[in-house]
Structure formats: C-alpha cells, structure tokens
Amino acid sequence: MSDCIFCKIAGGDIPSATLYEDDDFRVILDLGPATKGHALILPKHHYANLYEIPEEMAAKAMVLAKRMAAAMTEALGCDGFNIVQNNGEVAGQTGFHFHMHLIPRYNGDQAGITWKPGELKDEVRDEIVAKVTAALK
C-alpha cells in the first residue's frame, strides 16, 4: 500500500535501524521502545492484520520471532522476552500492517505487559467452546 508507513519501512524506502532482513521480512528497532532492544518484525508485503496474512507467512513470522528472540536474549542479556501481536484498535494495534513486537524484558523494567486474571465460569466456558469449535468446522 502506497500510504502504509510500515510498507515503506519494510521496503527500505524509509531508513530504519535494521537488525535482520530477508526476502519476506525486515526486523527493525521500534522508535518508541517499551524496553531496550524492542524490535518489530515487518512483512515486506502488506497484510493489515493476523486475519489477512497467509498461514505460510504467519508461520515464517513465528519462526523468525523465535530466532530473533534467541539472538536478542544472547546479545542483550535480558531476563525474559515478550512476543506481542495486536489485531484491531481495541487490542492495541496502531499500525494497520501486520507486525510482531519483540520485547526483551529486564527485571524491574516496568513495561507493563500484563493483565489481571479474571474467572472462567462454567457456562461461559461451555458457550465459548461450542461457538469456537463450530467456527472451526
């Protein structure tokens, strides 16, 4: 897409701090990092979100995320790692080009990527199981 900033970055039209690049992806440092080393995996082809990206490309993105997490953990000496992928504005997606956040975690970093656990009630559980299994058929 001609107006997509992530397409321009992934395509090399806008300079970035590139950590990795291949035919399908570019991995860059995030300009608004949650922690030291926060990076983004950007496909070079435009997909708005997880719903649009082909399964083969989604699988490649996850394999790359694993590889990058291992390299970044070794290089940066972080204490843990988050891999985050948001879909839709309500879920925190701000750039509508599929991307994965690679967030090195450090003891005491205050990145705040957590939530307060709720309670799964039996009737809600049964409803969700029925609806999702039906949607998968």
Chain centre to alpha carbon of residue 64: 11
Q: So what's the pLDDT on residue 65?
A: 98
Say what the pLDDT of residue 14 is: 95
CB atoms near residue 14 (< 10 Å) = 12
DSSP states of 54-89: -HHHHHHHHHHHHHHHHHHHHHH--SEEEEE---SG
Q: What is the pLDDT of residue 89?
A: 79
Per-residue confidence in pLDDT tens, the chain, 137 aa: 678 999 999 999 999 999 999 999 999 999 999 999 999 999 999 999 999 999 999 999 999 999 999 999 999 999 999 999 988 877 678 889 999 999 999 999 999 877 889 999 999 999 999 999 999 99
Looking at residue 1, what is its pLDDT? 64
- Catalytic residue numbers read 99
What predicted TM-score, i.e. pTM, was given to this entire model? 0.89
CA–CA dist 50, 88 (Å, integer): 10
